[in-house]
Amino acid sequence: MNIGSLGHVENGKSTLVQALTGTWTARHSEEIRRGITIRIGYADAAFYRCIKCGTYGTADVCAKCRSPTEFQRAVSFVDCPGHHSLMVTMLSGAALMDGALLVLSATEKCPQPQDREHLAAAQIVGINRIIVVQNKIDVAPRERILDNYREIKEFLEGTNAENSPIIPLSAQRGINIDALIAAIQEHIPTPMRDLAKPPLMSVLRSFDVNRPGTPALELQGGVIGGSIVQGRFRVDDEIEIRPGIRVEKGGKSQYEPLLTKITSLQAGGRLVEEARPGGLIGIRTLLDPSITKADNLAGNVVGHPGKLPPVLDHILLEVQLLERVVGTETQTATEKIKTNEPLVLNTGGAVSSGIVTSARNGLVEVALRRPVCIDPSARVALSRRIGDSWRLIGFGISIKQ
């Protein structure tokens, strides 16, 4: 299963994921230089429970009493950017989450603008299982921690996280990580998956894994990474990738789907013959690696040939807007969507921008710059340019035209 980390950029999300998995998810050079998450990061963890004292942890020996532990389950963590300028990227990761950790800082007044925006995003994409993490208790005085707790309770009132557990901890020092794992085990169960349905995967990343100078005969095919929503993939499966890549034909630009074959599958850091929903999957293909390099295929959908949803370059939405723009300091009232207005749309792991061609009676039609492959009745997050960033303003339900 996939568990996301949500919250403001300074709240310590990546540090918490590292405490749970041993992996620092920020790998890109720009992320390391700036000290923030820019791309969707991910890391795997295995949860264990002590046979003797019942303490939870991530090792096969109990950290408290040194007794043997029993494996409980494997979990993948999706680490989303918290900076206000990267909200669109965060929404792509949120679409793949089965549950989430809303990470708040005991040293800051709650909520910060991105705390509000991330919680609203969780509600929009349908994340109902949320655990609230009150981080940095090691660097805040007791009075501030108690005031912060009251602020958190007030912030959560009337939201889908109102009754969520609040776990005080220090990700930096590893304090109360066992209590957090226990809460995850109790409140975020592994969802039921339908393995009989045609397989469907949202692509989050794509790579060229070949080193510069690799001889032509030794080149490996392109790799795509993401999360399986339903069904299962096997090595040697024929697959289709939609919308695909942009090509020029007859002086016109259009998108064409890709057909290829799975040569290997990786899940949880190991090669497998079959991949199922939950966790993050790497699929090596026969594609030219120049097609998959630098996340070129991010936002695509993968399935068996002829079994994928339709590809749309125009989309009609029944829209529901937030009362206020929660990601800004002033929380101004959300204005109605207007004809000719530019918007950014997130659906599944796909991001596309477009121009509103019609806006009337709660229905909005958008001409997309990049087509999307989505099911009818799909939920689409909507963002508007406000100041120097795209801000979440609501969502729409796709209507078949």
Domain that holds residue 154: 2-187
Shared-domain flag, residues 251 and 373: no
Instruction: Please say whether the beta carbons of 129 and 161 come within 8 A.
Output: no
At residue 83, the pLDDT reads 42
At residue 93, the pLDDT reads 61
At residue 92, the pLDDT reads 62
Shared-domain flag, residues 330 and 383: yes
Shared-domain flag, residues 266 and 316: no
Total number of domains in the chain: 3
- pLDDT exceeding 90 applies to what percent of the chain? 61
Shared-domain flag, residues 292 and 372: no
Instruction: Please say whether the beta carbons of 269 and 202 come within 8 A.
Output: no
Report the range of poorest mean pLDDT among 31-40, 193-202, 241-250, 360-369.
Answer: 31-40
Strands (E), 118-173: 130-135, 166-168
Question: How do strand 99-105 and strand 69-79 relate by DSSP bridges?
Answer: unpaired
> CB under 8 Å to 338, separation ≥6 — which residues?
356, 359
Shared-domain flag, residues 319 and 294: no
Shared-domain flag, residues 90 and 214: no
On whether residue 354 sits in a domain, the answer given is: yes
DSSP symbols for 64-110: TT--BEEEEEEEEEEE---SGGGHHHHHHHHTT-SEEEEEEETTS-S
CA atoms 279, 192, 4, 343: torsion sign? positive
Shared-domain flag, residues 134 and 255: no
Whether the upstream peptide bond of residue 215 has omega within 30° of 0, thus cis, is: no
**Residue pLDDT, tens place only, 18-56:** 999 988 765 443 333 334 333 677 788 999 999 999 999
Of 160, 187, 214, the last residue of a domain is 187
At residue 29, the pLDDT reads 38
CATH number of domain containing 288: 2.40.30.10
